[in-house]
């Protein structure tokens, strides 16, 4: 049987490890650092953008736990464990919260198993799967053990949709929402070039060169991804403008290339 370590490809950059490098983490290889440096040269605001994407996830998760009573979460495209993680945020509100993490990078898998330990009252699990194969996620023993599909679920699709090209984006999000009951929520961030088109366009080209093609979406397209759901105030905004705290006050809109929103499944 192969361990996760056997599958790690150190010859090509991986989005989760590039993200880790740009945010100052330690779980990446030279190829990821080189890709990250090239991207930051194209757009020096990239670290700010990535951090605000992460902070949106914290605020959205806390809001779902605190204001909407959500106690179980499915987090697609977890990335490398960067504290605080989703389970730490929601278990601070409600220690009994359950979080299922999903990612497809073996380095993420190895770290997740070691680090993503929840509160004694709650539970965390990790599924080694790809968003392109939603049935592998929904049919997994971890999903079935931790997620009660009779109770609302918070589906978190953060910082991954720009790597999923149309028309797969809508189909995959809908497939993940399908088994979740009415009263569940979708929290999602969606890459855009609306605010710094030249710089973000160059970053997208660099990702494509590194074997990670991207799709960037304008506001109408981003908003349409929530069709049929009830958007929670303030609707679809740049991530730093969604229920901002004082640390978001000084952020230049041109530094953020991500829309974010939370919507309820009717």
Residue 30, Cβ neighbours under 10 Å: how many? 10
Residue 22, Cβ neighbours under 10 Å: how many? 21
> Can you give the pLDDT at residue 2?
38
How is the chain split among helix, strand and coil, in percent rounded to 5? Answer: 45, 15, 40
Nearest alpha carbon to residue 244 among 233, 257, 229: 233
> Can you give the pLDDT at residue 113?
67
**Phi and psi of 259, rounded to 5°?**
-90, 150
* Residue indicated by tokens 């198993």: 113
Sign of CA dihedral 4, 7, 10, 15: negative
| Residues 185/164, Cβ–Cβ less than 8 Å | no
**Phi and psi of 182, rounded to 5°?**
-55, 140
| Residues 186/247, Cβ–Cβ less than 8 Å | no
Nearest alpha carbon to residue 60 among 257, 236, 266, 247: 236
Nearest alpha carbon to residue 147 among 100, 94, 88: 100
pLDDT per residue as tens, the chain (266 positions): 334 445 667 788 887 788 788 878 887 889 989 988 988 888 888 889 989 999 999 999 999 999 999 999 999 987 765 678 899 999 999 999 999 999 887 777 777 666 666 667 788 888 989 899 999 999 999 999 999 999 999 999 999 999 999 999 999 999 999 999 999 999 999 999 999 999 999 989 988 988 889 999 999 999 999 999 999 999 999 999 999 999 999 999 999 999 999 999 99
| Residues 147/153, Cβ–Cβ less than 8 Å | yes
Predicted structure pTM score: 0.89
**Residue extents of the structural domains in the chain:** 4-264
User: What ranges make up the beta strands (E) of 167-218?
Assistant: 185-191
> Can you give the pLDDT at residue 223?
98
Token pair listed for 43 = 């757009």
> Can you give the pLDDT at residue 68?
98
Rounded to 10°, the helix 46-67/30-42 angle is: 100
| Residues 262/185, Cβ–Cβ less than 8 Å | yes
- The domain 4-264 having CATH identifier 1.10.569.10: the answer here is no
> Can you give the pLDDT at residue 4?
44
β-bridge partners, 125: 100
């Amino acid at each position: 049987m192969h361990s996760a370590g056997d599958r790690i490809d150190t010859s090509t950059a991986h989005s989760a490890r590039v993200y880790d490098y740009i945010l100052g983490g330690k779980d990446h290889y030279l190829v990821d650092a080189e890709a990250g440096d090239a991207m930051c040269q194209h757009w020096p605001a990239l670290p700010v953008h990535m951090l605000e994407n992460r902070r949106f996830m914290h605020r959205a998760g806390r809001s779902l736990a605190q204001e909407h009573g959500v106690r179980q979460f499915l987090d697609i495209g977890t990335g490398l464990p960067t504290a605080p993680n989703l389970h730490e945020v929601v278990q601070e509100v409600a220690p009994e919260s359950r979080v299922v993490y999903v990612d497809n990078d073996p380095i993420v898998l190895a770290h997740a198993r070691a680090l993503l330990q929840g509160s004694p009252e709650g539970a965390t699990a990790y599924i080694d799967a790809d968003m392109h194969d939603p049935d592998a996620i929904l049919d997994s023993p971890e999903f079935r053990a931790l997620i009660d599909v009779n109770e609302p679920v918070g589906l978190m699709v953060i910082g991954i949709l720009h790597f999923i090209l149309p028309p797969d984006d809508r189909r995959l999000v809908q497939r993940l929402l399908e088994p979740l009951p009415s009263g569940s929520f979708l929290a999602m961030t969606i890459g855009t070039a609306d605010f710094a088109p030249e710089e973000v366009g160059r970053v997208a080209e660099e990702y494509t060169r590194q074997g990670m093609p991207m799709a960037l979406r304008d506001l109408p397209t981003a908003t349409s991804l929530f069709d049929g759901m009830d958007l929670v105030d303030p609707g679809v905004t740049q991530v730093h403008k969604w229920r901002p705290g004082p640390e978001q006050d000084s952020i230049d809109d041109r530094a953020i290339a991500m829309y974010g929103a939370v919507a309820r499944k009717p």
